[in-house]
Structure 1
């Protein structure tokens, strides 16, 4: 399986230009014969939306998605967008496959600390769901979701084979650690304990002085980073994986047989 991880910069509130960039990288991934391309959180709109949420949010059936639906006949596509549904607004991720919307995940855990204001503008999702793709059972998390143990446990219970973490994570560092180290530790631990692949895709660029660091990566079911993107640089990372590693990892660490899940 060949995966394209597109850590892109986005223009705040400019859906048309962001969509054009998503289409551009999707075309490149198709040329590279990739099976799946993943984009960051809120890739269609930019992150710090505030009141722009109400004007840039779209319904998942909007004609805006038609070109990407068509492209998903050649490659599966996952990207973040601001969703409008039944009078509410959500920080969501859509997964397109075979020219259809396969599923939409609404971010369940909305941060409201420090610089984050998501809970003021978005409604929370109510579940962490796993869905079937051509590549196995797949779970999507959006940024803060991944910092909650319950989300990883739901993925574990649901027999996940492949996890996608879409993020718009800003840069910070202190004397103890760098921000990307926290992400690597979280995703490596989840992958190794649960025996699945984890694709972490983080955006780059700046909004109102806030910098997003990129450093996207893919982790094997053994808990190793297979390949990692650059710091602060827009790029498309291409990663080859062997889906048989899922079974190999679970044979090596047969943890689930001891879990009282029934």
Structure 2
């Protein structure tokens, strides 16, 4: 199974330009024979939207979604966007396949500390769902979602095989660590506990003086980083996944088989 991560920079508030870039990366992934391409959090709009969210949010039945759905006839697509639904606004991600929107995840945990103001402008989603794709049982988290154990419990309980994390994570460091090391440690841990692949798609570039570090990566079910993208540059990261690794991981660390209470009803 060949997948791609489109680690891109975005233009704040310009959905048309961002869509053109996303479609360009989709075309490249199709040419490389990929079956899935993943883009970062709010890739269609840029991150620091504030009041712009009311101008750039798109609806599920709009032209932008239709354009991407048409391209998903050739490759599965996961992409972050600002969503308008029934007069409310969400930090969302859609998964498209076979010409249709298969699933939309609304970010559950909206950060409101430090530089983050998401809770001021977005409504929060209320569920973490797992859905079927040709990649197997698939779950999408958006950035802050991944820092909450409850999110991973849902993925674990639903026997997720592919965990997709879309992020717009800004860069920081101190004398002990770099920001991406935190993401790597978290993803390695949950890949092993869930016996699943983890795709971390992070944006890059600068926006309102904030730098987004990139360093997107893919982790196998044994907790090994298969491949990682570059720092602060755009890249189409292409990785081959061997789904037999899931079975190997379950044999080596058979945690799921002892969770009978999740599978027995009543």
TM over 0.5: yes
Partner of 1:30: helix, strand, or coil? Answer: helix
2:97 paired with 1:97:
yes
Partner of 1:145: helix, strand, or coil? Answer: helix
Q: Which residue of 2 aligns with 1:67?
A: 67
Q: Cα deviation per residue 1:156-208 (whole Å; 9 max; x = unaligned)?
A: 00010000000000000001110000000000000011100000000001111
2: distance between equivalents of 1:257 and 1:32?
Answer: 37
1: distance between equivalents of 2:206 and 2:120?
Answer: 22
2: distance between equivalents of 1:66 and 1:81?
Answer: 14
1: distance between equivalents of 2:74 and 2:250?
Answer: 31
RMSD of Structure 2 on Structure 1 (CA):
0.6
Matches within 5 A, 1:48-197: 48-197=48-197
Give 1:135 shift.
1.3
Partner of 1:153: helix, strand, or coil? Answer: helix
Give 1:68 shift.
1.4
2:32 paired with 1:32:
yes
Q: Which residue of 2 aligns with 1:18?
A: 18
Q: Which residue of 2 aligns with 1:46?
A: 46
2: distance between equivalents of 1:16 and 1:8?
Answer: 15
Q: Which residue of 1 aligns with 2:2?
A: 2
Partner of 2:131: helix, strand, or coil? Answer: strand
Partner of 1:51: helix, strand, or coil? Answer: helix
Q: Which residue of 2 aligns with 1:257?
A: 257
1: distance between equivalents of 2:67 and 2:34?
Answer: 18
Partner of 2:126: helix, strand, or coil? Answer: coil
1: distance between equivalents of 2:67 and 2:46?
Answer: 20
- TM-score, normalised by the number of residues in structure 2: 0.98
Partner of 2:77: helix, strand, or coil? Answer: strand
2: distance between equivalents of 1:71 and 1:53?
Answer: 25
Give 1:258 shift.
1.5
Deviates more, 1:196-205 or 1:65-74: 65-74
2: distance between equivalents of 1:201 and 1:226?
Answer: 14
Unaligned runs of 5+ in 1: none
2:243 paired with 1:243:
yes
Partner of 1:185: helix, strand, or coil? Answer: helix
Give 1:248 shift.
1.1
Deviates more, 1:66-75 or 1:139-148: 66-75
Partner of 1:186: helix, strand, or coil? Answer: helix
1: distance between equivalents of 2:163 and 2:211?
Answer: 25
Give 1:70 shift.
1.2
Kindly tell me the number of residue pairs found equivalent between the two proteins: 262
